[in-house]
Amino acid sequence: MSKVSITHDLAIERAMREALDALDITSLFKGKRVAVHPNDTWASKEDKTAVTQPDTLRSVIQYIKRFHPKELIISGGSGAGETDQIFQTVGLMDIIREEGALFFDHNRPPFQEVDLDYGHDREVFGPQKSVMVNPKVFEYETLVALNQLKVHATATVTLALKNVAMSFPAADYYGHPRGIQQRKHHFFDDMHSFIAAMAKRFPIHLAITVGHPAMVGLGPIGGHVVETGIVIASTDPVAADAVGAQLLGFEAQAVRHIWEAARLGVGKCEMDEIEFTGLNLDEAFEAFTQAVYGTPLRLDHP
């Protein structure tokens, strides 16, 4: 069984603390080189809603610092812009400086080619056979994916697996933005298989997804945003993503990269394989739908 912690509190610091306190994660941080990767897809002065918010990042940094990590790195890699500019625009760079963490842009050189495993024994093949990354990402002993609870026009949802998979490929190699540089890569030929293969190659040790704010209707940018107070956390990123997808209205098989990642052994995606702490799935779904749609919906509605 995989454990998923769900909390609901409009105070992000309290929701985060309660969600993480329910997990056995001390060994992930104590004396370790810890990297936190926030969602940093794109932001402007007019619209900062698609990325991790400063108070979210601060609450995660302060929580991790309690366990005295050897090094705490905020590892960014925007696919739609320059990472440092997005961090500055949103206010994330101020948080990093104030909290004494380090910033690293893994879009920058040098580059190292890494092969991807699509599960050849099951005749599942992906179009992108290898990927170029900054080799510093291999120095991270603990990788924390810090994600927004959002829909995505191509990936269906953009949670922990998508956040890391589409960020680690070095944009300084593939081009900015990566989305219009498809002559240089095949990420989008089968995005779901690519995300699953990346999840296997670059393990996420802790997935934290927040609906502060959540985004529905359109995504990953320009959708309807709403504050939900939801925090989802798990040391199984597949389980965390399966739960996040369920709140957005999708079962695991409706989000193929989640289902494929489970087939590759990255984690569990079926609800009967997940143990919930804090809110159960029904309570979380009612709280989320109340916030987003103005009425609580039930998963067991006939």
How high is the pLDDT of residue 80? 87
pLDDT at 176 over 80: no
Domains of the chain: 2-293 (3.40.50.11440)
Smallest CA-to-CA distance from 8 within 293, 292, 288 is with: 288
Kindly list the distances between the CA atom of residue 274 and the CA atoms of 15, 22, 27, 300, in Å, as whole numbers in the listed order: 20, 14, 21, 17
Please answer whether residues 144 and 229 qualify as being in contact, where contact means their C-beta atoms are separated by less than 8 angstroms: no
pLDDT at 63 over 60: yes
How high is the pLDDT of residue 219? 96
Residues paired with residue 131 on neighbouring β-strands, in sequence order: 114
Sign of dihedral through CA atoms 101, 138, 133, 122? negative
Per-residue pLDDT tens over the stretch 155-164: 999 999 999 9
pLDDT at 124 over 80: no
How high is the pLDDT of residue 79? 85
What does the pLDDT average to over 98-109?
A: 98
How high is the pLDDT of residue 86? 97
Q: Which of 175-184, 193-202, 284-293 has the lowest mean pLDDT?
A: 175-184
pTM attached to this predicted model: 0.96
Copy the structure tokens of residue 102. Answer: 């380090």
Q: What is the mean pLDDT of the chain?
A: 94
pLDDT at 122 over 60: no
pLDDT at 120 over 70: no
Higher-confidence position of 107 and 186: 107
Smallest CA-to-CA distance from 283 within 300, 302, 258 is with: 300
How high is the pLDDT of residue 188? 82
Q: Which residues contact 79 (CB under 8 A, 6 or more apart)?
A: 41, 166, 167, 171, 177, 178, 179
Per-residue pLDDT tens over the stretch 185-227: 788 888 999 999 999 999 999 999 999 999 999 999 999 999 9
pLDDT at 183 over 70: no
How high is the pLDDT of residue 300? 80
Higher-confidence position of 237 and 177: 237
Confidence of residue 178 (pLDDT cuts 50, 70, 90): low
pLDDT at 285 over 90: yes
Cα 118 to Cα 141: distance, rounded to the nearest angstrom: 24
How high is the pLDDT of residue 177? 72
Q: What are phi and psi of 200, to 5 degrees?
A: -75, -40
Per-residue pLDDT tens over the stretch 76-102: 999 889 999 999 999 999 999 999 999
How high is the pLDDT of residue 4? 98
Torsion of CA 101, 107, 112, 116, to 10 degrees: 100
Per-residue pLDDT tens over the stretch 1-36: 999 999 999 999 999 999 999 999 999 999 999 999
How high is the pLDDT of residue 111? 97
Please answer whether residues 227 and 210 qualify as being in contact, where contact means their C-beta atoms are separated by less than 8 angstroms: no
